[in-house]
Amino acid sequence: MAKKQEENKSDIVSVLDENGKSDEQYLSKISNDKIKEFYKAMVLIRAFDQKAFNMQRQGRIGTYISYKGQEASQAGTALALEDKDFIFPTYRDSGVLLLRKQPIVQILQYWGGDERGLKSPDSVNNFPIAIPVGTQIPHAAGAGWAATIRKSGQVAVGFFGDGATSKGDFHEGLNFASVFNAATIFLCQNNQYAISVPRAKQTKSESISKKAVAYGMEGIEVDGNDIFAVYKAVKEAADKARKGNGPTLIECYTYRISDHSTSDDASRYRSKSEVEQWEKKDPIARVEKYMQRRGIKIDKDAILEEAKAKIEKEIEAFEKISAPDPKDMFKYVFAEMTPAQNKQMKDLLGE
């Protein structure tokens, strides 16, 4: 019988836990400004998440997938990367995208059913969100492999959930990355559920990070609600990859506070008390408490208001954008439209 993951926490990377226990040596090297930056990033992406959720409820965008509770995993990773790095996000990673220069307007456009939202800004490499679970994992292996071949100094990061580790894509991606020494980070946000299926029913493996062993790869488990720990682990894995020392699997042990998506009702498969237990480990509150202890003064309300104002401004811009042109469907399928497409476009649009 596999051991329960909770019982086996000796080797988890933790810098600041929910009880205030902290790795002072590591923290002392992080400046006050950096800590404020971490905090603000999490406040911003939580405010966005809340707003996007509300907009779905009001019918202003379509299905939305919330990452509430996973802010430390997303911000900690995003902030440890460089623009030239390549990320392969999932539907749950809007927070990562937001912190990777994807304009909020575009993130809303995507969830609002408008293809134009997927385009990555030129200054960063944000691959379009993967909707099929796990299919992006080999891409991250391939992009990291390319970085190794081209000596580009980039790192590729594949994001995925605990459920995705059951797919063949996971096995194939990790195996390739290891065999070819790819500059890849496999970043699993283990949020304990794949829709209704709890992590324990997904795999009998003791943990997800342990799966790395079989690939001859380093596997690290991190407290995913501890932004410092996530940042530290990702930064170290990225440095290692940039030096040509291969891939890493990082498991961020966290929790999805929200429903799986705006079409899901999580009360069908998990208890309120379980959610409440995890709310106590809130990643933002934890940093707030720490800043207080360290004597870093912040104006909480002002930071939140600033985040909200930024988001509101983008929402205004989003709502002013003209409807997508039906011609757009045809425009980017091939470098050149086929004769059949050309005829169909004319028939369809009555031109």
Partner 1 sequence: MVVANIIQAVNMALKQEMQRDSKVVVLGEDVGVNGGVFRATDGLYKEFPGRVFDTPLAELGIVGTSVGMAVNGLKPIAEIQFSGFMYGPFDQIFSHAARIRMRSRGRFTCPLVIRTPYGGGIRALELHGESGEAIFAHTPGLKMVVPSNPYDAKGLLASAIRDPDPVIFYEPMRIYRAIKQDIPEKEYLIPIGKANIVQEGNDLTLIAWGASLKMCKDLLEEMKGRYSVELIDLRTISPYDRETVINSVKKTGRCVIVHEAIQTCGFAAELIAAINEDAMLSLHGPVVRVTSPDVPFPLYRLENDFLPSMARIKKGIEKVMEF
Catalytic residue numbers, as ranges: 256, 260, 269
Name which of partner 1, ligand TPP, none residue 30 binds, using a CB cut-off of 5 to 8 Å depending on partner kind: none
> Which residue ranges make up the site for ligand TPP (CB under 6 A)?
92, 131-133, 160-164, 191, 193-195, 256
Task: Name which of 22 and 254 has its Cβ closer to ligand TPP.
Answer: 254
Contact (Cβ atoms closer than 8 angstroms) between residue 76 and residue 230? yes
Residue 113, Cα to own-chain centre: how many angstroms? Answer: 20
Q: Taking the complex as a whole, how short is the minimal distance between the CB of residue 236 and partner 1, in angstroms? A: 29
Going by C-alpha positions, the residue among 339, 329, 316 that lies closest to residue 60 is 316
> Which residue ranges make up the site for partner 1 (CB under 8 A)?
62-63, 91, 110, 112-115, 131-135, 163-164, 166-168, 194-197, 201-203, 263-264, 268-269, 323-324, 326, 328-330, 333, 338, 340-341, 344-345, 348
Task: Name which of 156 and 188 has its Cβ closer to ligand TPP.
Answer: 188
Name which of ligand TPP, partner 1, none residue 115 binds, using a CB cut-off of 5 to 8 Å depending on partner kind: partner 1
Question: What whole-number distance in Å separates Cα of residue 57 and Cα of residue 59?
Answer: 5
Q: Taking the complex as a whole, how short is the minimal distance between the CB of residue 190 and ligand TPP, in angstroms? A: 7
Cα atoms found within 13 Å of the Cα of residue 138, Cβ hemisphere only: 8
Sign of the torsion angle spanned by Cα atoms 196, 250, 144, 104: positive
Contact (Cβ atoms closer than 8 angstroms) between residue 98 and residue 48? yes
Partnered with residue 157 across adjacent β-strands are 87, 185
Q: Strand 218-223 relative to strand 197-198: parallel, antiparallel, unpaired? A: unpaired
Task: Name which of 132 and 216 has its Cβ closer to ligand TPP.
Answer: 132
Amino acid making up residue 160:
F
Name which of partner 1, ligand TPP, none residue 191 binds, using a CB cut-off of 5 to 8 Å depending on partner kind: ligand TPP
Name which of ligand TPP, partner 1, none residue 338 binds, using a CB cut-off of 5 to 8 Å depending on partner kind: partner 1
